[in-house]
Amino acid sequence: MPIDPFHLSPEKQAKTAPALIDADRRHLQRIAAELDGQRADVARRLDDVRRVRAGSGGAAVDRDLEIRRLSSRLRVLERFDIDVCLGRMTPADGEPVYIGRTGLAASDGTRLLIDWRAPAAEPYFAATLEDPRGLISRRRYRWTDGRISDYWDEALTADGFDGAASLDDQSAFIASLGTHRTARMRDVLATIQADQDAIIRTPSRGALVVDGGPGTGKTVVALHRAAHLLYAEPHLTASAGGMLLVGPNPHYLAYVEDVLPSLGEDTVRLCTLRDLTPEGATAPPEADQRIAALKAALDPEAVLAAAATAFERPPGHATRLDSPWADLWLSREEWAEVFAGADPAATHNEARDEVWEELLELLVEQVDDDEVPPHAVRRWLRQDDELTGTFVRAWPLLTPGEVVARLWSSPEFLRACAPALTPDEVTLLQRDRPDAWTDADLPLLDAAHRRIGDPEAVRAAHRRDAVIASAQEQMSHVVDHLIEDDDSEMKVMSILRGQDARNVLVGVDAPPMLPPDELAGPFGHIVVDEAQELTDAQWRMLLARCPSRSITIVGDRAQARHGFTETWQQRLARVGVREVSVAHLGVNYRTPAEVMAVAAPGILAALPDANVPTSVRESGIPVRTGAVAELPAVLDDWLAANPDGVACVIGDSSFAPTARVRSLTPTSAKGLEFDLVVLVYPERFGEDLTGAVDRYVAMTRSTRELILLG
């Protein structure tokens, strides 16, 4: 017997009337049966495709794409059961339409669920009393353990009142705001508001800034927009490189990592700025803010371009080689011409190989190929100490780190690469341990990885080429011998001279190439949260990975720890982003009015034009104060009274976190939310702008209760 999808508590018995829910029950049970059938069918098809021999060329690519498509579909089908359904909308002139996290059709073609991202689903989110979008009513479900524990009806016209069990059009939304938080962000797809939905469905062209104060749903909107773009604009994945989401810290990434998969998307890469460079994992914060500011203002691309050029100097004299066949010459002009012809899009280390091959070609052409095969001349040239030594000095193989380290150890080199720096600034940036990286070095190191390149990848390519060349040379000898001894009438062995045959004979014994850097880009779209904190240099790290400048930017100027005096358009124009639109959010859905009454005055005193949002609800719990010694008792009392939910202690680095109580700084708490926030020694954050911002950020993490201890 099918499981009843409805499981309402006794106090909600009025909502269990058959006239209210029987149609939903039948539809949801049909969805459950269809999901079971599709899961089995997709799993079977996936097994069948995996059993098919991979083959080569286009057939192998098609097989891999089909495996990827079926695997992705199966993950979506297995993630949800009937709770894949968000609710239904009833049009004025038709049957109810059910909205799902994914689309679903029955075997007979009946549409059981409309994907929430489809244009046909837009009225479900966008309809209001002022603009019902052709609907008379809307129903939203609350799911608990895979069954409906509550539902709300919203009448959008006078006709919508018929058969409605709940006529409070805000009940579903307000109820969702009061639920306990967990260690992971819940997607709030079922209660997305019309103004948020309009931002979510904005096309990808250009940069869209989602600007709003704490608790306005900026992150929620950005994550849902990311999922919508991947559905509505498949070119972002198919041909543009996919999507990257950049968060402020690892706590944030852990908090939001389930949201996109719950919305049907599991291809988005998540990272912090530190993750973009190998050195970021261990680089501490820069202690000297003067140095941090200087490095933040540098243009990493320009500095590294100048640094790379400094290591690409052709010899100022001709080179003579005494080969076994003839005297070989490279004039000074030829050296300069080959160096100047290097591919500007290639890294220093990649271009080095191209330049080397061009030089060898000039020399090989000076030997009569009737006298000696060209490959033999090349082999001799590669082993000539004079030629290789001259070239290594003129165009050395470099590591990104050693180039950046030289900036901080050679004043002359830094002046040449960053001429805008004053002599005092150049001196300030020098240090005894030039490779003792801090977070201020990461944009320059990132630019160095892109401009200089990975020497290990070049060495791996050299080893691979050497193995292949050796195998091909050996194969050539074998082929020549077989052809020479072929006494058949058709001379069938002659086909072995074909390149395809040689490739098959060589096989796949060459060493594999190093795996690519998945965060190197380019990406079709980037989502950046807490973007108000990014420096110019950090912005350039991201823009280098998004040539299209298609970006979703999430931030609040009032939460910038070091100030944000410009408009978003002015700020982004400074780093080369011209096509910018801004969507403002001004309603605080997270922070209760009691907390905002305490948090707002401090930030407005420091920033009179701060976009302080208006809270839509009260918790009924006043903000409390006390002594730091009360902290253990405060937490014990709260945990005893609240079997669910999470708390956070902010400002006490000595506090040891537990399963339900975190210990964070204002910076590491950004983007997170907690039922209870205990702020320890808030006055110690300082009286300057940074201190005011830190207190504001810390206080507004609360969804219910704030306690100040000092």
Annotated binding site for ATP: 212-219
C-alpha–C-alpha distance, residues 405 and 441, integer Å: 10
For residue 233, the number of C-alpha atoms closer than 13 Å in the C-beta half-sphere is: 20
For residue 299, the number of C-alpha atoms closer than 13 Å in the C-beta half-sphere is: 11
**What DSSP designation does 141 have?**
E
Q: Which residues have CB under 8 Å from 591's CB, separation 6+?
A: 214, 215, 599, 615, 699, 700, 702, 703
Nearest C-alpha neighbor of 526 from the set 267, 246, 169, 124: 246
Answer whether 553's CB lies under 8 Å from 209's CB: yes
C-alpha–C-alpha distance, residues 538 and 542, integer Å: 7
What are the structure tokens assigned to 181, written together?
């938080």
2: preceding bond cis by omega (within 30 degrees)? no
DSSP string, 4-60: PSB---GGGGGGG-HHHHHHHHHHHHHHHHHHHHHHHHHHHHHHHHHHS---STHHH
Nearest C-alpha neighbor of 694 from the set 573, 590, 581, 559: 559
Residue type, 288: D
Annotated binding residues = 212-219
Answer whether 99's CB lies under 8 Å from 190's CB: no
What are the structure tokens assigned to 91, written together?
């049009």
Answer whether 556's CB lies under 8 Å from 215's CB: no
Look at phi and psi of residue 131 and say left if phi exceeds 0, alpha if psi is from -120 to 50, else beta: beta
C-alpha–C-alpha distance, residues 623 and 679, integer Å: 11
Element (H, E) at 450: helix 442-451
Site of tokens 């190989």 = 353
* Helix, strand, coil shares, percent, the chain, to 5: 50, 15, 35
Answer whether 77's CB lies under 8 Å from 66's CB: no
